[in-house]
Structure 1
Amino acid sequence: MKKSLLIVVDERKMGGVSILLEDMINLGVFSDYDTDILVLHNNGSRLNNVKANVIYGTKFFNTIDLTIKEVLKTKKMNLIFSKVRLVFEMKTGLIKKRIVRERKKILNKRYDIEIAFKDGFTAIFTAFGDSLKKIHWLHYEYGKCNPNIKYNKLFNELLPKFDKIIAVSEGVKKAFCDFYKITDVEVIPNIVNIQKIKELSKQKGLIKYEDGKLNTVLVGRIHPVKGYDRFLKVVKRLYDDGFKEKIVINVIGDGPDLENVKSLNNDLNLDIHFWGKMDNPYKEIKNMDLLIFPSLYEAFGLVALEALILGVPVFATKTAATEKIISNNINGLVVENSEEGIYNGMKELLMNFDKIKEFKNNLKDYSYDIDEEIKKIKNILN
């Protein structure tokens, strides 16, 4: 009889964590277990075609992935009340008893293993549950973005309840260990479904390639931490330098900062093409000269890895993730994490298209091994 496994996430919107979980399940990483996925807030469209049973949380969790500002913007009193209640219970510690009650409404058994697959609230939900073995998966660069900082006392209390903590990169591990003064964290880089990426990339793309220009793309959730605003300011400077006719910029994705980014595009009189969310961005990425990744901070950088797998060079700001994924000046360019760094790096490439050709040539034999990482995960679960 298979052991039971519960994987907990807060939502299922477009983003690296949801894609990673889909890939891991469909690659059979958890196939030795009777697996359920619990989505605490049924918000988003991912996880529809996974080989696992998906269940959803109660109404109590409807604001766990929303900021107070986002909730107030809805002007819905039920959501505002729900958020206020959540914050109060988190601050007072009453959330521990609340989780016990809500788990009884959602779950009909005690699990052998439970994974809090995302940072923040999922860790609290799992820690104060009754599963026999508890694992916490870290995706955040804690030195720059700590989702637990407002409830640090509560988080310090729950940390010893986990049997294992996994980080997606050495940078994530170091930042987490430095902040919480612990050492027992194992690094397992993200598992990606390479075959899926390559198969989907064979479909016909919608975006027209413009000859004689540097065709670029930014892909993912449009959020302030992704650095779109400062990148657009760089584009304005490049236009002023006379590079407007040498570059094409495409944006694929949506997110909470989309309207602000579009507004800035109009204010700066830029010619950036917004394509919205795509279920299959790979068919577009494969035709590009360059993927641009201007994040303020990044724990792993899944889309950068996916671009490299498709033979597309990556231009990225220096983060805990990009230094590990990209071989600087070999298959991409990693620049200082600032507006000036982005400007100087982009200008360098626009003045030397041959450098892009060199990067592409170096990617012909690119490979990414996932077999060893899958073995590590299975050993931890066992």
Structure 2
Amino acid sequence: MKKVLIASFDMEVGGVERSLISMLNNFDYQNYRIDLMLYSHTGDFMNLLPDQPNLLEESAAYKTFRMSIGQILKSGKISFGLVRLMAKYKANLSTSSEKGYKQMQYMWKYSLPFLPKHKEQYDLAISYLWPHYFVAEKVEARTKIAWIHTDFSTVDTDERVDIQMWNKFNYIVAVSEECKNAFIQKYPSLEKKVIVIENITSPDFVRALANEKIENRMLNDQRFKIITVARLSYAKGIDNAVKALKLLKDRGYKDISWYVVGYGGDEAMLKELIKEQNLEDSFILLGKQINPYSYMKQADLYVQPSRYEGKAVTVGEAQILYKPVLITNYTTAQSQVRNEFDGIICELSIEGIAVGIEKLYRDHQLRKTLIINCKESNYHNDYELNKLYKLIE
């Protein structure tokens, strides 16, 4: 049997983690032995991991990447704590409004001297979530693959440092053609390494969870209900969603409510914005939910108001549940939706989101057409794994 290592951070609730679970659920375990390396054995999705992969023991050194600086120092790992402080300082020298990417880069790069090497050798090693330093520097494998899930043309990274890391890999996997093109736009020297393997979707799994009975306040809401499932972060544009709903209310659409399943660093800011716009009864943050599908099922419309995406897993899941979908025109939007067929792509702006929602709210026949086309589409794509098997062989 070929030996494969897959490495990622943890199993917190998120689209990347759901796509990893789908991949693991569909892997060919008769021909491949899978070791799963999670830097931290934490997250509500831990219980959703299938039994077949061999979950490796948690490493105290790698777990620090999911700990705060205070927690690291209290645990006695002074070197890692100092590295984190240095990474934060250097990232803060950047003029970017979103410094987290550079901080992550420096945190990993400066930690390398203190991180243990992985002992076993593999036919294939996959780093599933950026930055990819563990597989790049600490794993021996005949073939190494790094996965990209976001639009790299829109995020601020230290490109010189990044290219040094990417060059350690034989292949770079993008989750869509548009995601690939955006990456090449930023790193043209890496073009020959980049291939596309789409996120594996599991329609049966999604629909089964959607039918689970859970306590759901949306059931008693008779308004036109919008749902978004996303991290509460700048990238996902939830702040623009709040302002778009305010525009709609001001234009007389009083019977629209908007629910958001998710959590993240922008929660306090969003709660304050919702209060400022007097939308406490209409824009509702549902927080972290292990099963977002029951909420999706109750909605009249799914909206993805993102500023940028690689390929949003949740959009495909909404289509699997036969929901009309509205997404903003981020760089990779064309890979998510066939405009006017199984969803609508609107202008990436507050006004654009409001106009798109208004169009779908008013046009019942258009919503019905989108639903029919989703029902007639085949969202099974486990054949995408054949591309991965070819790389192993």
- TM-score interval, normalised by the smaller of the two chains: 0.7 to 0.9
Contact 1:169 1:187 in 2 (8 A): yes
Counterpart check, 1:137 vs 2:143: no
Deviations 1:144-193 (A, max 9, x none): 025xx23x333322323212221111122112222222222111111111
For 1:372, give the aligned amino acid. Answer: Y
Contact 2:72 2:81 in 1 (8 A): no
Counterpart check, 1:179 vs 2:186: yes
Q: Distance in 2 between matches of 1:212 and 1:248?
A: 9
The 1:211/1:9 distance shift into structure 2, 3 A limit, reads closer
Q: 2:345 — aligned with what?
A: 334
CA displacement at 1:231 relative to structure 2: 0.9
Task: Count how many residue pairs are aligned between Structure 1 and Structure 2.
Answer: 365
Cα RMSD of the aligned pairs, angstroms, is 2.6
Unmatched 5+ residue regions in structure 1?
A: none
Q: Distance in 1 between matches of 2:108 and 2:11?
A: 28
Q: Secondary structure at the match of 2:303?
A: strand
Q: Distance in 1 between matches of 2:84 and 2:29?
A: 32
Determine what percentage of the aligned residue pairs are the same residue. Answer: 27
Q: 1:355 — aligned with what?
A: 366
Q: Distance in 2 between matches of 1:260 and 1:222?
A: 10
Q: How does 1:206-221 map to 2 (within 5 A)?
A: 206-209=216-219, 213-221=223-231
Q: Secondary structure at the match of 1:119?
A: coil
Counterpart check, 1:226 vs 2:225: no
Q: 1:97 — aligned with what?
A: 113
For 1:84, give the aligned amino acid. Answer: L
Deviations 1:198-221 (A, max 9, x none): 222222352444686422111132
Q: State which of 295, 307, 327 in structure 2 corresponds to 1:284.
A: 295
The 1:341/1:92 distance shift into structure 2, 3 A limit, reads closer
Q: Distance in 1 between matches of 2:334 and 2:223?
A: 27
Q: Distance in 2 between matches of 1:352 and 1:85?
A: 55
Q: 1:50 — aligned with what?
A: 50
Counterpart check, 1:293 vs 2:300: no
Q: How does 1:152-171 map to 2 (within 5 A)?
A: 152-171=159-178
Unmatched 5+ residue regions in structure 2?
A: 88-105
CA displacement at 1:21 relative to structure 2: 0.8
The 1:95/1:145 distance shift into structure 2, 3 A limit, reads same
Q: Distance in 2 between matches of 1:355 and 1:55?
A: 49
Q: 2:7 — aligned with what?
A: 8
Q: State which of 298, 302, 305 in structure 1 corresponds to 2:316.
A: 305
The 1:278/1:211 distance shift into structure 2, 3 A limit, reads closer
Q: Secondary structure at the match of 1:97?
A: helix
CA displacement at 1:108 relative to structure 2: 4.2
The 1:24/1:242 distance shift into structure 2, 3 A limit, reads same
- TM, length-normalised to structure 1: 0.86
More displaced 10-residue stretch of structure 1: 19-28 or 300-309 = 19-28
The 1:330/1:83 distance shift into structure 2, 3 A limit, reads farther
